[in-house]
Amino acid sequence: MAKATCGSPWLKMNCGCNRPSGSFGGPFRSNRRSRRMAIREILQLGNPLLWEQSAPIETFDSEATRTLIRDLDDTLTHFYDTHGFGRAIAAPQIGSLNRAIFVRMQPSGFCGPLINPRIVWADPEQIEVWDDCFSFPDLLVKLRRARQIEVEYQDAQGTVQQVSADEDFSELLQHEIDHLDGILAVQRAQSPKDFSTRKEWERIHRARR
């Protein structure tokens, strides 16, 4: 089992990366430049598929699995290029109920798919974050996440890997794994006051600088 660590001083909000960096836990090389991108529609809050649990992926050499990874990669890239933020995407968000997520952290973080990820350890210490989501990009939710976690997953070849994540990478992985379990960030809010539109959040935080 390979093991990697990642932590970075990102703002505690799912704002993101620009292009692929080096990968942890096994090589991942996108061939996006040599093929036509496959951009999938991102399901929005209210679509019942987002509340469904995803099934484990069992075959790694199938065209279906390779296509899913490519589609996640391409859709994440397109979202970032269009909106200017976004570090990860989960398969249910493109209508595929399979346990796969794709992460791209910058400037020197994790890049690639995590298949069948599961949290094997969570720090009892928590952090407060404003969480957003591709499935409701104009809404932010204040919630609490474990400061550090250990995640076991399989890479694109099916090899079991383990990654240690803290702070922003930790909350990001928790958010994406929630998607695989049919849980959205809006369910994690502890109060009706823990919601903000993106426009209002940005206005308030600009005023505080």
CATH number at residue 34: 3.90.45.10
Q: Over the stretch 106-155, which tens digit does the pLDDT of each residue have?
A: 766 899 999 999 999 999 999 999 999 999 999 999 999 999 999 999 99
pLDDT surpassing 70 at residue 29:
no
**What pLDDT was estimated at residue 69?**
98
The residue with greater pLDDT, 30 or 206, is 206
Phi and psi at 175, nearest 5°, equal -60, -50
Positions marked active-site? 176
Is 175 annotated for ligand binding? yes
**What pLDDT was estimated at residue 207?**
80
Q: What is the DSSP string of the chain?
A: -EEEEE-----SSS---SS--PPSSS-----GGGS---PPPPP-TT-GGGGSPPBPP--SSSHHHHHHHHHHHHHHHHHHHHHS---EEEGGGGT--BSEEEEE-TTT--EEEEEEEEEEEE-S-EEEEEE--TTSTTEEEEEEEESEEEEEEE-TT--EEEEEEEHHHHHHHHHHHHHHTT--GGGG-SSTTSEEEHHHHHHHHHHH-
Question: How many domains does the chain fold into?
Answer: 1
Taking the C-alpha atoms of residue 173 and residue 152, their distance in angstroms, rounded to an integer, is 11
Is 179 annotated for ligand binding? yes
Is 17 annotated for ligand binding? no
Q: Over the stretch 154-167, which tens digit does the pLDDT of each residue have?
A: 999 999 999 999 99
pLDDT surpassing 90 at residue 33:
no
Q: What percent of the chain clears pLDDT 90, i.e. is strictly above it?
A: 75
Residue with tokens 């649990």: 53
Backbone Cα Rg of the chain: 16
Q: Which domain holds residue 198?
A: 2-208
The count of C-alpha atoms lying within 13 angstroms of the C-alpha of 136, restricted to the half-sphere facing its C-beta, is 18
pTM of the model: 0.83
Q: What is the mean pLDDT of residues 15-36?
A: 45
pLDDT surpassing 80 at residue 8:
no
The count of C-alpha atoms lying within 13 angstroms of the C-alpha of 100, restricted to the half-sphere facing its C-beta, is 27
